Amino acid sequence: MTQKRLVILRTMWLDGPNIWTYRSCIEALVDIQELEQFPSNLLPGFYERLTALLPGLVDHRCGIGEPGGFLLRVREGTYAAHMLEHIVIELHTQAGLEVGFGKARMTSKEGVYKMVFRTPDPVVGMACLEAGVRLLHAAIEGAEYDLQAELKVIKHHCDMHGLGPSTQHILDAAYERRIPIVRLNDGNLVQLGHGNKQQRIWTAETSKTSAIAEGIAADKDLCKELLAQCGVPVPEGEMAKSPEHAWEIAQDIGVPVVVKPVDGNWGRGVSLELTKEEDVKTAWPLADKESYTGVIVEKFIRGTEHRVLVVNYQVAAVSRGELVHVVGDGKSTLQELCNQQINTDPRRGESEIFPLRPVNVEKNPAVFLEVQRQGYTASSVIGDGVKVLIERNSNASEDVTDLIHPEIARLCCMAARVVGLDVAGIDLVCEHIDQSPKGQSLAVVEVNAGPGLLMHIKPAKGQARNVGKPIIESLFPGDANGRIPTISYSGGLEIEGFGPELTEILEDQGHKVGLACDQGLLMNGRTINKAPSANWQSGRNCLINKNLDTLVMQVKASTILSEGLPYDRASLAVITSLGAMDGLDEWDILTKEQHFNVMRTVVDLVLGSGHAVVNADEVSLLPLKDLCDGKVIWISSTADNPIVAEHVKNGGMAVVYQGESIHFMGSRAEAEQRSPIPLKQPPVSLTKTLALAAAGWAMDVPHHLLRADLRQRY
């Protein structure tokens, strides 16, 4: 059996569109060394060991496009880099992440491959890559491999660096609308859209979530007072300064009562249906421990708990809660029964991807108090058939959105409006969610800012609700997509200075432009950095700036290859040549064909509603026409360029130089009456001048203003 191993020479986090994919990924340079002589079919027992470790590989389609395709390749013989690609993808899948994209390609050096895979986060991706290398070596060598231990580490990184389920659900809805997504930190703060069109979310809080409203929701006593003043039914109660005071309040308002933290959430520190002095006094410190501002004692409302999600003052989803019990068997302790009958529920887990938490009687004070009131402890053996109540305030788990009575829905929307929350989780207790509020026990017991969405996304019973969609619709009504004009330009010396000149033209029209180019980083006329700034970070800095409404960015092959691009799609791409290949050998770009495949990225990203300005005098650029989703505007130094003539004949747009004037051609030019612009003198770079004219046209600069700008320069 061979002991041959591969080595990872280099990894790069490509945070945005790149030569491989539109989305973020990791590219690894992999040297498979002597394994180049040992494809999978020459490794005895490898297939069996690999499939035993990762049986999920059977679903990988690979070349044939059907499940089993990859394993067929393994049987027939494939190389280590290709196998590593699929192992890493499967490790993502086993960790609960759907990525589904990877490639492995040979480089010019024997045994060295570029291997790329999509991943939502660089830390998570590197953990999968490193674990994948160890798994591959173990399968080759027949060594021990603890897959579950590796997955535990990967899942830990997912918990620490990945997005929460509520945030991800909202982002999925944004992606469906093709709204740009920019993650702003390692947590759940995410920007949707760019520049002055952006909105932000932090889990289920949004840019429209008022700090005052959030503060009101957090202060349960104040919130209840405001609701009551506006006619929303709430339970009677008041603040309790001590356990003794809590019992005094309970006697005043009448038992049973609820004792809970004023600013709590997720049901922590909440004790329900308390009738005895001892229980009320015991519950007070449990609530106080979970609160910064105090404890409240309220009248207990009989009925079933419901969580009503209100978005933009409309009910988006309703979940009904459930009491959690165990039934004794005469042999097992209470904790053992909890482990057998409750903690086996797939909805329960420690991380935030689970809507419910495991029950530990000793460690959960509210559960401990509940069972203690019934005369039990965690070690009590429960008699056969005896039913023990474990949790009264378990998270809502059954979808009942279609059952809510219109009057109850109106009350919940009113509660959200009184507090002022655009996204609110209304905790409602009532006897019948499908009947009028009149004649039944009913009250709004809490209004929550930033409510969890998982109970609606993955209910235990009933229909899953796409609650991310109404949140996105409230942030981006109608056809709004949060995009600002994003302009990229590429080329060689012939286009030097294009970015600053186009920026001046756009600023003359009132645009607030961010410019990232070799001449520096400028935002709205201010120089932020004089150093060359044609890079990912500078472009991203412009996109997150709320004061800007346009991005102009110089795009180089080196940026595409080493960083990816900071924007997902472009309104306008200008490319006048492929540019120089100096230094591209670092990324194994050695031929003009490879160079073209890098630079085509700028045209690949043009929106269907956008334009690509392409130099028709550069033969190497002609294939770009068929790669553009938007409209192509050819530019040429001569009016008789056959490519231009054919394009215009078919209704296309073009800008050419003829008789010392710039001419606009095509049916659109005729409709807009775009007359020729005579130049005072031949420009130093005719190509750049034509590109400026075409870019101004694409950006709808009025013809007389574009004429004035160009004549002022030339």
Looking at residue 2, its pLDDT comes to 47
- Is the pLDDT at 633 greater than 90? The verdict is yes
What is the 8-class DSSP label of residue 166?
H
Show which of 134, 161, 188 is a domain's final residue: 161
d(CA 620, CA 592): 9
Residue 318: which of 434, 205, 240 has the closest Cα? 434
Looking at residue 389, its pLDDT comes to 82
Share of the chain above pLDDT 90, in %: 74
Together in a domain, 379 and 494: no
Looking at residue 378, its pLDDT comes to 87
* Residue 554, domain member (yes or no): yes
Looking at residue 714, its pLDDT comes to 67
Q: What does 573-592 look like in DSSP terms, one character per residue?
A: EEES-----TTGGGGT--SH
112: tokens are: 């060295």
| DSSP reduced 3-state for 550 | strand
Residue 568: which of 598, 540, 547 has the closest Cα? 540
Sequence length of the chain is 714
* Residue 694, domain member (yes or no): yes
Together in a domain, 355 and 497: no
Sequence-ordered strand ranges (E) for 62-106: 102-106
Give the burial class of 708: count Cβ atoms within 10 A of its Cβ; 0-12 exposed, 13-18 middle, 19 or more buried: middle
What is the 8-class DSSP label of residue 62?
G
Residue 611: which of 646, 550, 654 has the closest Cα? 654
Do 117 and 26 meet the contact criterion of CB atoms below 8 Å apart?
yes
Q: Is the alpha carbon torsion for 641, 643, 644, 648 positive or negative?
A: positive
Select the more confidently predicted residue: 384 or 417: 417
- The whole-number average pLDDT for the span 621-643 is 96
565: tokens are: 């691009």
Give the burial class of 344: count Cβ atoms within 10 A of its Cβ; 0-12 exposed, 13-18 middle, 19 or more buried: exposed
Residues 6+ apart with CB under 8 A from 670: none
216: tokens are: 């009101």
Select the more confidently predicted residue: 292 or 164: 164
Domains: count for the chain = 3
Residues 6+ apart with CB under 8 A from 385: 327, 328
Return the biggest CA–CA distance within the chain. 101
- The whole-number average pLDDT for the span 355-379 is 80
* Residue 631, domain member (yes or no): yes
Q: Which amino acid is at 404?
A: I
Sequence-ordered strand ranges (E) for 312-359: 314-320, 324-327
Which CATH number covers residue 629? 3.40.1190.10
* Residue 457, domain member (yes or no): no
* Residue 13, domain member (yes or no): yes
Select the more confidently predicted residue: 435 or 366: 435
Radius of gyration of the chain (CA): 32
- Is the pLDDT at 369 greater than 90? The verdict is no
328: tokens are: 């004794």
d(CA 223, CA 216): 5
Partners of 699 in beta bridges:
none
Give per-residue burial for 252-267: e unless 16+ CB within 10 Å, then b: eeebbbbbbbbbbbeb
What is the 8-class DSSP label of residue 231?
T
pLDDT band at 137 (very low <50, low <70, confident <90, very high): very high
342: tokens are: 């409750």
Looking at residue 243, its pLDDT comes to 92
- Is the pLDDT at 190 greater than 60? The verdict is yes
Measured CA angle at 12 (ends 6, 15), to 5 deg? 140
- Tokens 């049987």 locate to 75
d(CA 195, CA 59): 41
Cis amide linkage into residue 256, ω under 30° from 0: yes
Together in a domain, 507 and 387: no
Together in a domain, 134 and 29: yes
d(CA 569, CA 562): 18
Q: How far is CA 256 from CA 275, 299, 712, in A?
A: 5, 7, 83
d(CA 454, CA 225): 29
d(CA 487, CA 571): 6
* Residue 15, domain member (yes or no): yes
Show which of 391, 417, 438 is a domain's final residue: 391
Range in 130-134, 353-357, 545-549 with the lowest mean pLDDT: 353-357
Partners of 611 in beta bridges:
572, 631
Share of the chain above pLDDT 70, in %: 97
Looking at residue 1, its pLDDT comes to 44
Tell me how crowded residue 561 is: count the other CB atoms within 10 A of its CB: 21
Pairing verdict, β 237-240 and 295-299: antiparallel
- Is the pLDDT at 234 greater than 50? The verdict is yes
Looking at residue 294, its pLDDT comes to 87
Looking at residue 620, its pLDDT comes to 96
Show which of 369, 391, 413 is a domain's final residue: 391
* pLDDT tens readout for residues 387-417: 888 876 555 679 999 999 999 999 999 999 9
* Residue 12, domain member (yes or no): yes
* pLDDT tens readout for residues 5-29: 999 999 999 999 999 999 999 999 9
The residue range of the domain holding 521 is 486-713
Residue 355: which of 345, 367, 365, 364 has the closest Cα? 345
Give the burial class of 508: count Cβ atoms within 10 A of its Cβ; 0-12 exposed, 13-18 middle, 19 or more buried: middle
350: tokens are: 């420690």
* pLDDT tens readout for residues 237-264: 888 999 999 999 999 888 898 898 877 6
* pLDDT tens readout for residues 40-86: 999 999 999 999 999 999 999 887 778 899 999 999 999 999 999 99
pLDDT band at 265 (very low <50, low <70, confident <90, very high): low
- The whole-number average pLDDT for the span 180-205 is 96
65: tokens are: 């496009």
Select the more confidently predicted residue: 265 or 616: 616
* pLDDT tens readout for residues 445-490: 899 999 999 989 988 889 999 999 999 999 999 999 999 999 999 9
pLDDT band at 707 (very low <50, low <70, confident <90, very high): very high
d(CA 574, CA 695): 7
Looking at residue 513, its pLDDT comes to 98
Give the mean pLDDT of the chain. 92
Q: What's the distance, Cα to Cα, between the start and end of the chain in Å? A: 73
322: tokens are: 């459930």
- Is the pLDDT at 197 greater than 80? The verdict is yes
* Residue 188, domain member (yes or no): no
d(CA 506, CA 692): 11
d(CA 464, CA 448): 21
* pLDDT tens readout for residues 83-123: 999 999 999 999 988 888 999 999 999 999 999 999 999 99
Select the more confidently predicted residue: 149 or 303: 149
d(CA 204, CA 208): 11
Looking at residue 611, its pLDDT comes to 98
Strand order in the sheet with 205-206: 181-183, 189-192, 199-202, 205-206
Measured CA angle at 371 (ends 242, 383), to 5 deg? 160
